[in-house]
Amino acid sequence: MEFTEEQRAVREVVREFAVEEIQPIAQEADEQEAFPEDVWDGLAELDLTGLTTPVEYGGYDADRVTYALVNEEVAYGALAVATALSVHCLATSCIAQFGSESQKKRWLPEMVDGRPVGAFALSEPGAGSNPAQMTTEARPVGGDDEPTEYVIDGEKQWITNGERAGVYILFAKTDRDDPASITQFVVPGDVDGLSIGDPEEKLGLRASDTTSLTFDGVRIPAENRLTPDGKGLSAALSILTGGRIGIAAQSVGLAQSAFDRAREYATEREQFDGPIADIQTIRHKIADMYAGIQGARALTLDAARADDRNDDSALRASVAKYVASETAMDVTNEAVQIHGGYGYVSEFDVERLYRDARVTTIYEGTSEIQKTIIARHLLGET
């Protein structure tokens, strides 16, 4: 696949950082369920925390292909780190795409430097795959024609960077009973009335903090509204197209990491008077894993290039996310199988990679939701 010289250079730098700085601490971070803040600072030094932010606000302003390459390589080091970075970039993208000039100047320069960390607060306990069912309300108050502030009540769930974040991109209804009133807001992490739940104890991504958020009479100024009333859901869906390309790329990076470990193990592990790589069954597994990764990577980059061309990339993004996440599950499963009993213990990284892979088929739209989106496009129902 052809890349520009700059894209190749970025990929090489990020792969080196992933191998030298992220991989060595990934297992310990998983065991301690603690995000590696030194790694985050390293990402900031590489300008990756400003990856999707325009240059005029200090960002890198990466094209979508570069964004995909960065996500793949960071996930090659650890999916938990890649997930935290991609959610931070979702937050900065919301401000960059929908914010006013004053909002961009207020928030983006600091977020580009990595602090405050950004979070994306869309899902709720009763509204995951269908965000129109959200119940969080941002009630407008004051002013005759325009509100002077909003009072927020409600709960959000599954918030990546929930504990670490200093800025939340919040989606809420300005009329609790009207799904068409969903609007987008910037909420600072230090506002009164915001409570952050304990980190969830998860199967995988254990180094990435995932929390609930409770808003109890939180007051924010009207200037913190990012979109006009009722335009928040369409904004979220447009941002998530790019997000799904990022998750597809992360799935590819995770699968590649598992594949590389399995291939190396197969050449070193000896049974029946030779390496298990000589066994036909193992050779077929390796071939299938490689083919799956190559296909998923091609679909991901195709979606990224379509997005860069301003084509309608929603269908491509859903196809890539669906195929790549399912591939990550298949490849990590086979990597564990190739390792045999050793694949089932934490001494070998494939155990963690297998656990981490499971979430790729769930977050930013489950595999079932992706298939629904794909079918709607194919049947002309979008």
pLDDT of the chain along its 382 residues, tens only? 689 999 999 999 999 999 999 999 999 999 999 999 999 999 999 999 999 999 999 999 999 999 999 999 999 999 999 999 999 999 999 999 999 999 999 999 999 999 999 999 999 999 888 888 999 999 999 877 889 999 999 999 999 999 999 999 999 999 988 989 999 999 999 999 999 999 999 999 999 999 999 999 999 999 999 999 899 989 988 898 999 999 999 999 999 999 999 999 999 999 999 999 999 999 999 999 999 999 999 999 999 999 999 998 999 999 999 999 999 999 999 999 999 999 999 999 999 999 999 999 999 999 999 999 999 999 999 7
Give the domain-ending residue among 230, 262, 288: 230
Domain identity same for 249 and 372: yes
Q: Which residues pair with 225 in a beta bridge?
A: 185
Domain identity same for 200 and 291: no
Domain identity same for 292 and 318: yes
Domain identity same for 240 and 137: no
The pTM (predicted TM-score) of the whole model is 0.96
Q: How far, in Å, CA of 215 to CA of 79, rounded?
A: 29
Domain identity same for 112 and 135: no
pLDDT in the model for residue 1: 67
Q: Which residues pair with 154 in a beta bridge?
A: 215
Give the domain-ending residue among 96, 118, 140: 118
Domain identity same for 170 and 277: no
Domain identity same for 279 and 371: yes
Question: What is the DSSP code (8-state) at residue 373?
Answer: H
- Decide: 242 and 305 in contact? Cβ < 8 Å: no
Domain identity same for 267 and 191: no
Give the CATH number, domain containing residue 308: 1.20.140.10
Whole-number average pLDDT of the chain: 96
The answer to whether residue 364 is catalytic is yes
Give the domain-ending residue among 230, 252, 281: 230
Residues 6+ apart with CB under 8 A from 212: 125, 155, 156, 157, 158, 159, 162, 196, 197
pLDDT in the model for residue 382: 73
Counting the structural domains of the chain, the total is 3
Give me the domain span that covers residue 320: 234-378
Looking at 155, 201, 364, 368, which residue is catalytic? 364
Residue (of 206, 161, 164) closest to 28 by Cα position: 206
Give me the amino acid identity at 43. L
Owner of token pair 């080091």: 77
